[in-house]
Chains A and B, each alone.
Chain A
Amino acid sequence: MLNKNKKLQSTRDGFGEAILELGKKNKDIVVVSADLAESTRVHHFAKKYKNRFIEVGVAEQNAMGVAAGLALSGKIPYVTSFGVFSPGRNWDQLRVSVCYTNANVKIIGSHTGLSVGPDGASHQALEDIAITRVLPNITVLAPSDFIETKKATIAASKIKGPVYIRFARHKGPDINTNKTPFTVGKANILLKGSAVTIVGCGPVLAEALKAAEILAKENIKVEIINSHTIKPLDKKTILKSIKKTKKLITLEDHQVVGGLGSAVVEMLAENFPVPTIMLGVRDTFGESGKTDELWEKYGLSDGHIMSAVKKIIKK
């Protein structure tokens, strides 16, 4: 089920294609933009559906409130910005106007992770999964490639209630094919193995796949789970895998604290605790650089994943 063509596309383009399709199919779909229309790929929607595109300018708190008001009036708003600004800057509004109100708002956090690159730390959201999954009533999605982001965006429109989708700026290889199923709350097993379970999310999973290919030549067969839905976590799939391998590595382009890894470890601590290595940014801010350079420097690249695998299978 893995995509072999290794075509390079961006997750944000997957969102852009999906929002245009949604706009065509459903007249209740509206977009709220905070002056990042082109970067977040809603500029085509803006041109085609002028009446359903609200540009609020650089005002993310207002953007979130406006989205809540639109949702309470029967619309399905997608409010878009960079993850650092939304849900970063407008977290109180997400908490009260959206989650406490259970308003049908879809929050789009583009440019998340170190993969943002040259803009540097101020623009690299490494905390957004932590601050969203902690809120009641919200669904949190982190798709891994163009195709999955498109499916996640469309799936979000069918959920009644707040949904947060985080994705990235850069172009990465396709991991999934068009035939790869996408069901919110159901993790996908990308690779079957027995040495260790790697649970990850987002485009950085491509690094895990690279590592797996090399490890397979050394007869180390890792199991890779794409946990695209951080909330609600697919306890069943993850637990089944962990009971088989009895070892866990988590992987995300996010702080190692509070994100997907923490969600998995929390669940296993209560059900089936196992030796664990969590891969993510280790309590530091990012910096300017290229995506692959940053993943290498901050411990997320295939080399680091391979080291982690070798370390854990010795335990």
Chain B
Amino acid sequence: MKRSGIKELKTIANILRQDIITTLNTAGSGHTGGSLGMTDIFAALYFNILNHIPHQPDNPNRDRLILSNGHICPILYASLARAGYFPLVKLKTLRKINSQLQGHPHAGSLPGVETSSGPLGQGISQAVGMALAAKMDKKHHHIFCITSDGEHNEGQVWEAAMLANKYKLGNLINIIDRNNIQIDGYTKDIMPLAPLKDKYITFGWKVFVINGHNMKQIVATLNKAKAFTKKPVVVIAETILGKGVSFMENKYPWHGIAPNEIETKKALAELRNGK
């Protein structure tokens, strides 16, 4: 798939944000905040960074992308649709009965979805397993795993981090959605994580910290991450929950709700006016 340049990626990100708003409004429920927050990263991944062929979702040499914080699947689904894995019109079916677009990712339901996730901490372990398999087979694809900062409350995440260090999984890249928010409030109040960078350094990982909305920095860093093969890499992406919609930004209730008709209208107007 052709790699889009920075300007094009910004345009794609804007379109994806609109897709998220309309998809969630139609669904009536879902996780708006984190989906919007990670949109720039997903645009970069699916339209520049990942080695993938949308009409060959099972190509054995593809880069894998595991969404461990599965609740932000609206951005995954929108990215897959826009990249050509399935028809765009299916986005309307999110969370509806008989849909391929399940409320949390389900392996086998939709092309491009690598595994099932939802319960936090599980995806990163699976990503480690995939990285181990690739190493065993001397294959050169990368395994990208998206995790959330709140997810790091789960011990399983640290179990996986220790194992990745033990086996020096240089083909593994963990991108953390560092928006400082979780369901019941701000991470500093619910379960403080800082210093997150230091934790990963002492766990033996290579750490990059970026502005999760600076497309130039995202692309440059993810390319650096791919090239760094001595240790597993973590990219701590500092993001704003609800990014792109002024009344959602940094408001933790927007973690897990969908916009109503009025909110949808307002959000789309902002996004279309090139905010």
B residues less than 8 Å from A30 (CB atoms): 136
Q: Mark A60-87, 1 if CB is under 8 A from B, else 0.
A: 0110111111111111010000000000
Known: A57-B163, A73-B133. 16 other contacts (CB 8 A): A54-B163, A59-B163, A61-B155, A69-B125, A69-B130, A70-B129, A71-B129, A72-B129, A72-B130, A73-B137, A74-B133, A92-B122, A93-B156, A96-B117, A101-B106, A103-B115
- Chain A residue nearest in CB terms to B66: A69
Find chain B residues with CB under 8 A from A65 CB: 121-126, 128-129, 156, 160
A71, A73, A101: most-surrounded residue (chain B CB, <10 A) = A73
Q: Which residues of A contact B261 (CB under 8 A)?
A: none
Interface residues of B in 92-147 (CB under 8 A from A): 106-108, 114-119, 121-134, 136-137
- Of A62, A77, A102, which is within 8 A of B156 by CB? A62
List, in ascending order, chain A residues with CB within 8 A of B159's CB.
Answer: 56-57, 59, 61-62
Complex: how many Å from CA A70 to CA B135?
Answer: 11
B126 to A69, Cβ gap below 8 A?
yes
Which positions in B face A, CB cutoff 8 Å?
106-108, 114-119, 121-134, 136-137, 155-156, 159-160, 162-163, 167
The residue from B116, B163, B167 contacting A97, defined by CB atoms under 8 A apart: B116
Question: CB distance A96 to B163 under 8 Å?
Answer: no
Indicate if the CB atoms of B160 and A62 lie closer than 8 Å.
yes
Distance in angstroms between the alpha carbons of A65 and B122 in the assembled complex: 6
- The answer to whether the Cβ of A100 comes within 8 Å of any Cβ in the partner chain is yes
Given contacts A93-B125, A97-B122, A101-B116, contact A70 B133 (CB under 8 A): yes
A: residues with CB less than 8 A from B are 30, 51-52, 54, 56-57, 59, 61-62, 64-75, 77, 92-93, 96-97, 100-103
Chain A residues near B123 (CB, 8 Å)?
65
**Which of B107, B137, B159 is packed against the most chain A CB atoms within 10 Å?**
B159
A137 CB to nearest B CB, Å: 11
Q: Known contacts A56-B163, A96-B117: does B108 contact A66 (CB below 8 Å)?
A: no
The distance in angstroms between the C-alpha atoms of A64 and B129, with both chains bound, is 9
Pull 18 A–B residue pairs with CB atoms less than 8 Å apart, ordered by A: A54-B163, A56-B159, A56-B163, A57-B159, A66-B126, A66-B163, A69-B125, A69-B127, A72-B130, A73-B129, A73-B133, A73-B134, A75-B136, A92-B119, A97-B116, A97-B126, A100-B107, A103-B107
| A-B pairs with lowest CB-CB distance, top 7 | A69-B129, A65-B125, A73-B133, A62-B159, A69-B126, A59-B159, A66-B129
- A66/B122 contact (C-beta < 8 A), A72-B115, A100-B106 known: no
Q: From the candidates B114, B134, B163, name the one contacting A62 in the complex (CB within 8 A).
A: B163
Specify which chain A residues have a CB less than 8 angstroms from the CB of B107 in the assembled complex: 72, 100-103
Partner of A61, one of B125, B134, B137: B125
Instruction: Report the nearest B residue to A51, measured CB to CB.
Output: B136
CB distance from B259 to the nearest CB of A (A): 28
A100 to chain B: which residues have CB within 8 Å? 106-107, 116
Most chain-B CB neighbours within 10 Å: which of A30, A66, A67, A71?
A66
Q: Which residues of A contact B116 (CB under 8 A)?
A: 96-97, 100-101
CB-CB < 8 A to A102: which residues of B? 107-108
In angstroms, Cα B156 to Cα A56, docked, is 12
Instruction: Please name the residue on chain B nearest to A52 by beta carbon.
Output: B136
- Chain B residues with CB under 8 A of A97: 115-116, 122, 125-126
Q: What residues of chain B lie closer than 8 Å to A64, measured between beta carbons?
A: 125
Q: How far is the CA of A92 from the CA of B156 in the complex (A)?
A: 12
CA distance A70 to B162 in the complex (A): 17
Name the distance in Å between A28's Cβ and chain B's nearest Cβ: 10
Residues in A neighbouring B134, C-beta threshold 8 A: 73
The residue in B107, B114, B134 that gathers the most chain A C-beta atoms within 10 A of its C-beta is B107
Q: How far is the CB of B147 from chain A (nearest CB, A)?
A: 13
Q: Please pick, from B114, B117, B119, B132, the residue contacting A66 in the complex, using a CB distance under 8 A.
A: B132
Most chain A CB within 10 A, of B129, B131, B156, B163, is at B129
**Which residue, A30, A68, A92, A103, has most C-beta atoms of chain B within 10 A?**
A68
